[in-house]
Amino acid sequence: MTNREHSADPGFDEPLVLIGEATLDRMPGLALIFEETAAGFSRFLGQYEEGVLLTMDGLEALRVGELTENFGGIGRTFVYRAAGLEARAALAVDDAFHRMTFELLLGSNIVAPACERPMTRIEDAILGFAAFRLLDQVAAAFASIAPVSFERDWGAEEAGFFSLGPKAAVAVLVRLSLQYREHSGQALLALPRTALDPFRNILARAPGAEGQATDEKWSVNLYDNVVRTEVTAEVKIEARGFTLGDVARLEVGDVLRLPIAPTSPIRVVSEGRTLFWCTLGQKDGKYTVRLEEFSDERESYIENILGV
């Protein structure tokens, strides 16, 4: 029986949210999913700047009409088709969330003050990228329950929260708070109640209620085949190109000049992927490298966003 099929439990027909009454406190698994979402997004932004933290501030059930009335003007609202939940999801972020993610993703640790001008095309694209990465974390947190994926629904975004259903429909609202230094921003994720109803029996289980795996053979196999797996890492110094004529004219004692200085950052690469940026050094008569920072590959995704 799949997760989406009906259970024989006589309580299956009990709705997730009774009319005007939330039963979310009886679903600890749901809170855990969004706590994992917040932690995952914090780690993602932490690649660009330390001290960034996204936290879940709470869950509540509201009518779609109340959502629109209370939060319709919060800022930018994105709408996604949620495959696996058979519904749409709406993600609204305020101006502070927008400014923080924009600066952090571009490598700046200075958050610009609020301004009244509309967002530029590039700002909107980068904010959309940040929103999609947040939804990626939601999908990852849901993975143990059901395969979920999100696709931007451009045509529904003008409707905002009303894309979730009629005015009287009930939605589950997740409040998320983004903190960086003295700055604080807010994101609101809303899903229709009906999207979560098929999973309420699973979500009602307390985290850890299933117990821990005690298969020693499995644990040893995991350690041997994952933790102890060997990988090859290379220290990569930028190369200089030569023509065949240049090579033919080389003589013993000639000096080949590299396009970097001794203090320039160099890369540690494994299977074509840059893992760290390093500085070159020397110890006990041998050349060494000191790991300075993780590679965030920000240039790659910025180029993808801008289409260059």
Give pLDDT, residue 20. 39
Radius of gyration of the chain (CA): 25
- Quick one: CA dihedral 225, 272, 149, 64, positive or negative? positive
pLDDT digits 0-9 by tens, 125-171: 888 899 999 999 999 999 988 899 999 999 998 898 999 989 888 89
Pick the residue with more confidence: 109 or 190? 190
Residue 96 is predicted with a pLDDT of: 86
Under 8 Å between Cβ of 10 and 3: no
Confirm if 180 and 111 have CB atoms less than 8 A apart. yes
pTM passes above 0.75: no
Q: From its phi and psi, is residue 196 left (phi > 0), alpha (psi between -120 and 50) or beta? A: alpha
**Tokens (6 digits) for 237:** 């110094």
Q: How far is CA 293 from CA 19, 130, 281, 289, 301, in A?
A: 52, 22, 16, 12, 18
Identify which of 180, 239, 218, 236 has the alpha carbon closest to the alpha carbon of residue 54: 180
Q: Is domain 10-203 in CATH 1.10.40.50, yes or no?
A: no
Q: What is the DSSP string of 86-110?
A: TEEEEEEEEHHHHHHHHHHHTT---
Report whether pLDDT(5) > 60. no
For residues 83 and 149, the answer to whether their CB atoms sit within 8 Å is yes
Q: Which two tokens stand for residue 29?
A: 């698994």
Q: What is the pLDDT of residues 226-267, one digit of tens each?
A: 666 777 888 877 777 778 888 888 889 888 777 776 667 788
Compute φ and ψ for 98, nearest 5 degrees: -60, -50
Best-predicted range by mean pLDDT (42-46, 109-113, 276-280): 42-46
Q: Of 43-47, 86-90, 131-135, which gets the smallest average pLDDT?
A: 43-47
Domain boundaries for CATH 2.30.330.10 within the chain: 232-306
Question: Quick one: pLDDT at residue 101?
Answer: 87
Reply yes or no on domain 232-306 having CATH 3.40.30.10. Answer: no
> Where do the CATH 3.40.1550.10 domains begin and end in the chain?
10-203
Mean pLDDT, all residues of the chain:
78
Residue 108 has pLDDT above 50, yes or no: yes
Query: Is the pLDDT higher at 217 or at 15?
Result: 217
Residue 307 has pLDDT above 50, yes or no: no
pLDDT attached to residue 181: 84
Instruction: Report residue 289 as tokens.
Output: 């490298």
